[in-house]
Amino acid sequence: MANWKELSGEKNWESLLKPLNTNLRDYIKLYGKRVQVIYDSVNSEDKTRPAYAKEDLFSEAAIETGTFENLYTVTDYIFANSDVAPWFDWMVKDQYAWFGYVAVATDEGKRVMGRRDILICWRGTVSPAEWFKNAQFDQVSASEIFEKSQDPQVHKGFLSIYTSPSTEPSSSNLSARDQVMNAVKNLVNKPEYREEEISITVAGHSLGAALATLNATDIVTNQYNKRTGSKEACVVTAFVFASPKLDIVTDLPPSFISYKKVGMKLRIKSHKSALLNFIDGLQLHDIIPESHSLKEYLQGVTARQSQ
């Protein structure tokens, strides 16, 4: 893709959203499907773990074959800790679970995509402990990972999932943030890629959209998008689906808390098929989860091009 920088937001997607550019549509769906892989690959017996080894994720998961097949290889799995307040332990237990992965473009991927892309994908909420963290929408300082002079305030629950160290005896005790940053640092500085143009793309859905936003900002703020000893920074882009405040399910925190919306918005009608099903007898309480699903969003992206 010769115009990959434009598709990655170099010009804030100017003239590409209305109508939705065909190449950008495929680009968005590419990253959305890479997030969907996480949902499709959760272990049926232990939902906190992936069903497949890293090297088998894309070959075993339900990814459509075609132009964008075999473009990435997974290098690292991401696990995160949802620590619940002690007084809720009787009802909701702490949980350390698989949240996503880091991947890098293969040689074929580099040829098709126009650069060596490092991809980070985050899933949305699947457990009671994670719903508990979603509800912790009071603001806390994130100065430990962002600019201290500005003292940025972020969602308490999201930041906790991103930065809490593991309490699992069998784990490395690293937070999700540390796992991701170690993987990115290794890939950015990999000797084989030293002479190549690289990019970093972060994608997520729902809770994962919030984590992707924190992650992408963290990468840029702390210059993980620069090779060691270099002043040149690579492009970092976040593609987020059903992001908090922009979705029927994630329309929280409430308006009286001063959160700000960020980024460029592509509005789609993700509820369309659910509403059609409602005519055939689907109940109202079924519409909201269906409208929120990532698969529904990807269908909406396809339909959006013709609007």
Catalytic positions = 206, 247, 292
55 SS3 class: helix
Q: Distance between alpha carbon 217 and the CA centroid of its chain, in Å?
A: 12
Q: Which residues pair with 153 in a beta bridge?
A: 141
In the block, residue with structure tokens 């084989």: 192
Structure tokens at 132: 């508990």
- Residues pairing with 202 in the sheet: 120, 238
What does residue 99 show for φ and ψ, rounded to 5 degrees? -115, -15
What stretches of the chain show up as alpha helix (H) in DSSP? 4-7, 22-40, 57-60, 107-113, 128-134, 156-163, 176-188, 207-221, 272-279, 284-292, 294-304
Q: What would the DSSP string read from start to end of 81-102? A: EEPPPGGGTTTS--EEEEEEEE
Structure tokens at 102: 């880091």
Q: Which residue has the tokens 């070959």?
A: 59
Query: Phi/psi of residue 144, each to 5°?
Result: -65, -30
- Token pair of 257, please? 């808390």
Chain position carrying tokens 């937001």: 9
